[in-house]
Structure 1
Amino acid sequence: MQFSVAELPLALFTTLAPLGAGAFIALACAFFTTRFSSEQLKKIDRGTIFPLAIVIVGFICAFFHLATPMNAPSVFLGAGSPMSNEIIAGCVFAIVAIVYVIVVNAGKLCGSARQGFAAVVAVLAVIFAIFTGLAYVMSTIATWNTPLVPVQMLGFTLVGGAATAALVLASVGVWADACKGAFKTTIMGLAVAGAVLAIVGLAGQLAMASGMQNALVSGADLVSGALLPAIVGLALVAVAAALVFVATKKEAATGLAAAALVAAVVGIFLARMAFYAIQMSVGIYFG
């Protein structure tokens, strides 16, 4: 697991930032499926500060991966490279999300304008998640060079975002009203689809990596070392989805939503640590 420890700041970034972004996807779905009162909308708008804070903390963690934080602007000079595209997509999402949170809390949006802006933020969140996964699809690292990486990242975003949005809505007292309509099915779908994508993505990648080897290490040995955190992590992701599912059956679901978020954060983090642990250079690869 030596590689995963070295990549701890990125593991935290790829856990927290996409998860917080995913909440804006679920919240946008809430605005399209539920007719909230103006007072309820004000409560939700104040609650959106929470997922935004998670995103910001995630980006702060990413800075600790840089040898010198002052080198951060140089990332943008490589626009077109997978890593630069990830950061650019993330920054665009974060800036638009910040503007959205400020504007809605200032009471400047209502009706279709709110829905439209929320939809834009949600689409940018999906793009950010996909580009975060694509940043690791590189020909130089054989065990990461697979479309299963962005698949699992999108899965983490959806299930973590569903749990975060559930906590926001439950904590401000609008969860029961939201779950009376189509949003109930929508958020269950987001949580379950996210868990399936995450499990299929990481499990498939581990299976692929186990059949590789290079002159220094066997992929099977790397997977063996990463198997426990991977299994526990994916199990917790499944638990998070299940808790969101159960929460939709309850009127008071703050506790269940909080438990779902904790399970999602810990599960995704362990899965990300397992991902970094199976890093294998292609330069001396054969198989």
Structure 2
Amino acid sequence: MAEIGFSFAIEEICLVLFTTLAPAGAIALFTLSLIALRRFSDKAVLARLNLFMCVPIVVTIVGLVASTVHLGSPANALYVMCGVGRSPLSNEVASAVLFLGVAGLYWAYSFAERPKAAVQRVWLAAIAASAVVFVGFVAVAYSHETIVTWNTPFVPVSLCLNGLVGGPLLAFATLQAAGLCPCNARGRLGRALVAVSAGALVANLVVMGLQLADLSGIANAAGAALDRAPLAAPSAVLYGVLGAAACALCGVQAWGLGKPSLSKTLIALGLLFVGLFAVRFSFYMMHMTAGIGL
């Protein structure tokens, strides 16, 4: 059974990468958009924010490009769009295209010689809204009645929390790269970002525990769900350990307890994404249909 689960996860490795990176990139861009709206009157800060928004955009694009490999050919994405409104996969792809289109065009417009302030404000709000829509559609894309291990409330909640763990830390790194993150004892922004990430991590570990308990009672004619995904519990532990380490590395800087360093933050992000990748891989190992099918 474990071999079957591992084989399925390997086949879906592109989607593992997509669901690891894209939600974090979207939430990071959501965060930066709200910060830009709040600091809109400070033209110097806004210019730096606009310039470095390309970081979460690129992270999201990498995830999306990886997902197109799952379709066999990027050209097949055009056929996927035909099912918008009735297919969860089509809705997911359409929301991704909308989000990246809005974000990418805003980033390009920010380089205009005289960008309109009112247009930028509306555009930033649109980026934030489209990011929420995108993450929401990604979260519910796995709710299929025939896949009993995925058709639970824990799956979409956990995926959204993954985004809330990775997104704020990616925004933290982006702000730090831009020279805007207040990593000192008086700065509240960095502390708030780390606190949101840490809180989401704790909440997600609880959700994962509930999901594992739920899986213990799921089986089909081919066997038990947990036999299919023996890495589920170890990957959750690894995710918790690496996520806590990532929050600690950023928290020490945000609370002014250590010298701010972008390299430390990038190490923290690396640790977090390894943990995220592990739990997403085990998620695809859980794939089990309601009937005798694998």
Query: TM-score w.r.t. structure 2 length?
Result: 0.87
- Rounded to whole Å, the distance in 2 between the matches of 1:260 and 1:225 is 23
Specify the code of the residue in structure 1 equivalent to 2:8.
F
- Rounded to whole Å, the distance in 2 between the matches of 1:179 and 1:130 is 35
1:75: how far off?
0.7
Q: Which moved more, 1:170-179 or 1:218-227?
A: 170-179
Please state whether the residue corresponding to 1:58 is helix, strand or coil: helix
User: Residues 42-63 of structure 1, C-alpha deviation per residue, up to 9 Å, x if partnerless?
Assistant: 2222211111111111111011
- Rounded to whole Å, the distance in 2 between the matches of 1:284 and 1:32 is 53
- Rounded to whole Å, the distance in 2 between the matches of 1:89 and 1:10 is 16
Please state whether the residue corresponding to 1:26 is helix, strand or coil: helix
Structure 2's unaligned 5+ residue stretches are 1-5
Structure 1's unaligned 5+ residue stretches are none
Using a 3 Å threshold, how does the CA distance of structure 1 residues 97 and 197 change in structure 2: closer, same or farther?
farther
Specify the code of the residue in structure 2 equivalent to 1:56.
I
Alignment match, 2:267: 259
Q: State yes or no: 1:281 paired with 2:289.
A: yes
Q: What do you get for the CA RMSD once the two structures are aligned? A: 2.5
Alignment match, 2:244: 238
Assess if the C-alpha contact under 8 Å between 1:163 and 1:264 holds in 2. Answer: no
Please state whether the residue corresponding to 2:168 is helix, strand or coil: helix
- Rounded to whole Å, the distance in 1 between the matches of 2:70 and 2:10 is 12
Using a 3 Å threshold, how does the CA distance of structure 1 residues 67 and 84 change in structure 2: closer, same or farther?
same
**After TM superposition, where is structure 1 displaced by more than 4 Å over at least 4 residues in a row?**
32-36, 107-113, 177-182
1:123: how far off?
2.1
Q: Please, which of 198, 216, 223 is the counterpart of residue 204 of structure 2? A: 198
1:67: how far off?
2.7
Using a 3 Å threshold, how does the CA distance of structure 1 residues 12 and 25 change in structure 2: closer, same or farther?
same
1:33: how far off?
4.6
Using a 3 Å threshold, how does the CA distance of structure 1 residues 248 and 281 change in structure 2: closer, same or farther?
same
Alignment match, 1:70: 75
Percent identity reads 32
Using a 3 Å threshold, how does the CA distance of structure 1 residues 185 and 226 change in structure 2: closer, same or farther?
closer
User: Residues 27-48 of structure 1, C-alpha deviation per residue, up to 9 Å, x if partnerless?
Assistant: 1232345577423322222211
Count of residue pairs brought into register by the alignment: 285
- Rounded to whole Å, the distance in 2 between the matches of 1:115 and 1:202 is 38
Alignment match, 1:105: 111
Q: Which moved more, 1:28-37 or 1:208-217?
A: 28-37
Aligned ranges 1:175-254 → 2 under 5 Å:
175-176=181-182, 180=186, 182-184=188-190, 186-250=192-256, 252-254=260-262
Alignment match, 1:83: 89
Aligned ranges 1:6-45 → 2 under 5 Å:
6-34=11-39, 37-45=42-50
Alignment match, 1:174: 180
Specify the code of the residue in structure 1 equivalent to 2:177.
S
Assess if the C-alpha contact under 8 Å between 2:172 and 2:190 holds in 1. Answer: no
Q: State yes or no: 1:95 paired with 2:101.
A: yes
Using a 3 Å threshold, how does the CA distance of structure 1 residues 98 and 184 change in structure 2: closer, same or farther?
same
1:177: how far off?
7.8
Alignment match, 1:133: 139
Query: TM-score w.r.t. structure 1 length?
Result: 0.89
Q: State yes or no: 1:50 paired with 2:55.
A: yes
Specify the code of the residue in structure 1 equivalent to 2:149.
T
1:135: how far off?
0.3
Specify the code of the residue in structure 2 equivalent to 1:263.
L
Using a 3 Å threshold, how does the CA distance of structure 1 residues 188 and 162 change in structure 2: closer, same or farther?
same
Alignment match, 1:117: 123
User: Residues 124-166 of structure 1, C-alpha deviation per residue, up to 9 Å, x if partnerless?
Assistant: 1122112111000111110100121111111111221111111
Assess if the C-alpha contact under 8 Å between 1:34 and 1:181 holds in 2. Answer: no
1:232: how far off?
1.0
Q: State yes or no: 1:61 paired with 2:66.
A: yes
Please state whether the residue corresponding to 1:66 is helix, strand or coil: coil
Q: Which moved more, 1:103-112 or 1:73-82?
A: 103-112
